[in-house]
Amino acid sequence: MKLAIIGTGKIVHEALFAIEELSEIEKVAIYAREHSKEKADELAKKYSIKEVYTDYNELLEKSDCDTVYIGLVNSAHFQYSKEALLAGKNVILEKPFTETLEQALELKKIAEDKGLFLLEAITVLHNPVFDRAKAVLDELGPKKMFMANYSQYSSRYDDYKKGVVAPAFDPELGGGALGDINVYNIHYAVALFGMPNSVEYFPNKGFNGVDTSGMLILSYDGFSAMCTGAKDSDSPSFVTIQGEDGYMTVNGKPNSSDSLTLVTMKSTDDKTLDASGSIKRQIHEEEFTKPEMRHRMTQEFIDFAEIIDGKNYDKAKESLEESITVVKVLKKARQ
């Protein structure tokens, strides 16, 4: 895969570190606006990127990249992706996918018409812990509850409280806890259970109307999923799924979790109650820990290279449909 990097922000720094040692990815170009060219030059030197552009159209016309990774502010995702697809480039688009469902569907159509790959960079779905959760899901029996919490006090929140609004807290630029952090929880729920029957969002709003935190309730047949995301406060982060026959807990932040605990239970003829009044059941517990990786984003880029270089359109279609379903959930939540 011949990759062009679009942007110079924090996520781009992380992406370049994540892929630095991947032989299957050739870093051929980086784009920055004129005022950020010095940053792009530094990144190009540090990561051996051949070309630096300050004109996006020129990059699309002259670079020999086959794929662009777009790590820009949320509000720029659609336009930059559309221009790349129209220029015949595959697109890896940083989460959240697009601001509106209409944008997502337009990008999908262009990609399909041109036979190109359109993939969302969402680390949740490129983690052996998630793969394990999906594989053992049926062992829990009928599902009764899904709870996910991703909360971390933003490095930009103190400035926000002083009236200094970074893009992450600017609703005009697609900022807010729902799309920036709770989206990881939503991807977990959608990837495991599909489109919910109903969506309700209960946000805590800041002075400019942005949701600094909030709780999302997704209704499925027989159970509900509660997704909590916060940029204004801290708590332990986790994903827990409960069923009649057991439960599992994904330990740590959903975008970078490194282990999973699965507990399954079987009823016995012994109806002895424990101190809290519940029936004691036979318990089997197992732990799964993912192999060490250079960075939480490394695996997703390995997967992207395999999909694009291997022309795996079926896998790409599955991934894109999941992303569009999440956009549908986000649309209902914002309504």
Q: What is the pLDDT of residue 270?
A: 64
Residue 266's pLDDT band (boundaries 50, 70, 90)?
Answer: confident
Alpha carbons 135 and 241: distance in angstroms, whole number: 13
Collapse the DSSP code of 12 into the 3-class scheme (helix H, G, I; strand E, B; otherwise coil) and give the result: helix
Q: What is the pLDDT of residues 7-20, one digit of tens each?
A: 999 999 999 999 99
Q: Are strands 282-289 and 259-266 parallel, antiparallel or unpaired?
A: antiparallel
pTM: 0.91
Do residues 251 and 239 lie in contact, with contact meaning Cβ atoms separated by under 8 Å?
no
Count the neighbouring beta carbons within 10 Å of the beta carbon of residue 180. 22
Do residues 77 and 94 lie in contact, with contact meaning Cβ atoms separated by under 8 Å?
yes
Residue 280's pLDDT band (boundaries 50, 70, 90)?
Answer: low
- What does the pLDDT average to over 154-160? 95
Helix (H) or strand (E) run with residue 247 in it:
strand 246-251
Residue 86's pLDDT band (boundaries 50, 70, 90)?
Answer: very high
Q: What is the pLDDT of residue 277?
A: 63
Q: What is the pLDDT of residue 116?
A: 98
Average per-residue pLDDT for the chain:
94
- What does the pLDDT average to over 186-202? 97
Is residue 286 over pLDDT 80?
Answer: yes
User: Would you kindly state where each structural domain of the chain is located, as residue ranges?
Assistant: 2-122+298-311, 128-295
Partner residues linked to 284 by β-bridges:
264
Q: What is the pLDDT of residue 232?
A: 96
What tokens were used for 231?
A: 């940029």
Residue 192's pLDDT band (boundaries 50, 70, 90)?
Answer: very high
Any idea which architecture 128-295 has in CATH? 2-Layer Sandwich (3.30)
Beta carbons within 8 Å of 45's beta carbon, 6+ residues apart: none
* Residues 110, 330, 191: CA angle, nearest 5 degrees: 80
- What does the pLDDT average to over 42-51? 96
From the list 174, 195, 191, the residue with the least C-alpha distance to 75 is 174
Residue 273's pLDDT band (boundaries 50, 70, 90)?
Answer: low
Is residue 274 over pLDDT 90?
Answer: no
Is residue 138 over pLDDT 80?
Answer: yes
Q: What is the pLDDT of residues 167-177, one digit of tens each?
A: 889 998 888 99
Residue 74's pLDDT band (boundaries 50, 70, 90)?
Answer: confident
Is residue 272 over pLDDT 70?
Answer: no
Is residue 113 over pLDDT 70?
Answer: yes
What tokens were used for 127?
A: 């983690």
- What does the pLDDT average to over 104-117? 97
Do residues 301 and 15 lie in contact, with contact meaning Cβ atoms separated by under 8 Å?
yes
| Helix and strand element counts for the chain (H, E) | 11, 14
Q: What is the pLDDT of residue 181?
A: 94
Residue 75's pLDDT band (boundaries 50, 70, 90)?
Answer: confident
- What does the pLDDT average to over 265-277? 69
Q: What is the pLDDT of residue 283?
A: 82
Strand order in the sheet with 90-94: 51-53, 26-31, 2-6, 67-70, 90-94, 118-121
Residue 269's pLDDT band (boundaries 50, 70, 90)?
Answer: low
DSSP letter at 50 equals S
Q: What is the pLDDT of residue 110?
A: 97
Asked if the 2-122+298-311 domain carries CATH number 3.30.43.10, the reply is no
Is residue 276 over pLDDT 80?
Answer: no
Residue 149's pLDDT band (boundaries 50, 70, 90)?
Answer: very high
Q: What is the pLDDT of residue 174?
A: 83
Residue 319's pLDDT band (boundaries 50, 70, 90)?
Answer: very high
